[in-house]
Amino acid sequence: MTAPRPSPAGPSQRRVFRARVQTREAGAWTERDDAVVVEAPLEIRLRWKGGSRRLGATMRTPGHDEELAAGLLYAEGIVHHASEIRGIAHEPAPGEAQEFNSVVVDLAREPDVDWSSIERPFLMSSACGVCGRATTDYLRSTNPPALRAGEPTIDADALAALPARLRAAQEAFEATGGLHATALFTGGAEALLVREDVGRHNAFDKAVGRSLLDGSLPLAGAVGLVSGRAGYELVQKAVRAGLPILAAVGAPSTLAIDVAKEFGVTLVGFLRGDRFNVYAGRDRLR
């Protein structure tokens, strides 16, 4: 496939906005500039020879839009390999003057999917992205990569140190305090990539999308860390990406634990300081 075209520079691609705010502290009012994370809609459209579809729109933080689109398509089972994507580019939607908030994904062929269960005719929130199916039946039908038991492994102390490394790499979070992040590390705790977004699902999809476009899927030797909680959707995305270890600074849900156990994912929650809980896959921690 052709390499995704870099996002055009412009106001709509800013990740941080300076807002004038009034602050009351210790009984006194002050006025100052404050850094606020940008949240803006992104429309995703699909195109192939002889046809096209509008997948939907999601609220996101501008930047890495091509990766977000690729990650969403992979998570939804619309594409399974980078070779199915010929290119991704920012293009204005019909009747839309602002091109930065719309991407078109050119596909090698029409996807063999049930469009009625995929298309979202309304705006999705950044907390969800273009959320996937709510059952494990569909996840099994996508034939996700098989995970090897006990591989890779990571030292428990090294795992406990990952949140600090993630925070140090979150440039926009340091400025705004309003972004989620997903990081991928090696089993030796070396950072592979970090992606940020106002939506935690979007940050995860950006990381997976980058890996898809780089030909790095499945993520068989990687450790994933998310800055929020580990719900079903994130574990589902980890399964699809072949990610064997998923850690979160927040809590998991019951369905997330069930999915992790069924598909062999090591699931860690409440990773804070030197303490964490292992909900599935203890054999990968040493």
3-state secondary structure 63-76: CCHHHHHHHHHHHC
Q: Looking at the structure, do residues 257 and 172 belong to the same domain, yes or no?
A: yes
Q: Looking at the structure, do residues 96 and 162 belong to the same domain, yes or no?
A: no
* CATH number where 126 lies: 3.10.20.10
Question: Would you name the residues annotated as active-site residues?
Answer: 128
Contacts of 9 (CB under 8 A, 6+ apart): none
- Res 113: pLDDT: 85
Q: Looking at the structure, do residues 197 and 116 belong to the same domain, yes or no?
A: no
* CATH number where 169 lies: 3.40.140.10
**Which structural domain, as residue segments, surrounds residue 183?**
156-284
Q: Which of 102, 134, 166 is the last residue of a domain?
A: 134
Cα separation, 271 vs 277, in Å, equals 7
Number of domains the chain is built from: 2
Q: Looking at the structure, do residues 182 and 245 belong to the same domain, yes or no?
A: yes
The whole-number average pLDDT for the span 167-173 is: 70
* Residue 15 belongs to some domain of the structure: no
Distances (CA, A) of 11 to 96, 98, 99: 16, 11, 12
Going by the DSSP 8-state scheme, the letter that residue 214 receives in this structure is: T
pLDDT tens by residue, 242-267: 999 999 998 888 888 888 989 999 99
- Res 199: pLDDT: 86
* Residue 129 belongs to some domain of the structure: yes
Which residue would you say has higher pLDDT here, 53 or 31? Answer: 53
pTM for this entry: 0.78
Q: Looking at the structure, do residues 126 and 193 belong to the same domain, yes or no?
A: no
The whole-number average pLDDT for the span 9-26 is: 63
- Which of 18-27, 61-70, 274-283 is predicted with the least confidence, judged by mean pLDDT? 18-27
Q: Looking at the structure, do residues 184 and 100 belong to the same domain, yes or no?
A: no
* Residue 79 belongs to some domain of the structure: yes
The whole-number average pLDDT for the span 59-77 is: 90
Q: Looking at the structure, do residues 106 and 166 belong to the same domain, yes or no?
A: no
Q: Looking at the structure, do residues 164 and 277 belong to the same domain, yes or no?
A: yes
Cα separation, 204 vs 188, in Å, equals 21
Q: Looking at the structure, do residues 170 and 221 belong to the same domain, yes or no?
A: yes
* Residue 280 belongs to some domain of the structure: yes
Q: Looking at the structure, do residues 160 and 280 belong to the same domain, yes or no?
A: yes
Contacts of 110 (CB under 8 A, 6+ apart): 48, 50, 51
- Res 129: pLDDT: 54
Q: Looking at the structure, do residues 45 and 124 belong to the same domain, yes or no?
A: yes
E-assigned strand segments in the chain: 16-25, 28-37, 40-48, 51-60, 85-90, 102-107, 123-124, 180-186, 191-197, 222-226, 245-248, 266-272, 275-280
* Residue 103 belongs to some domain of the structure: yes
- Res 8: pLDDT: 37
For residue 18 the two structure tokens come to 């300076």
Q: Looking at the structure, do residues 174 and 272 belong to the same domain, yes or no?
A: yes
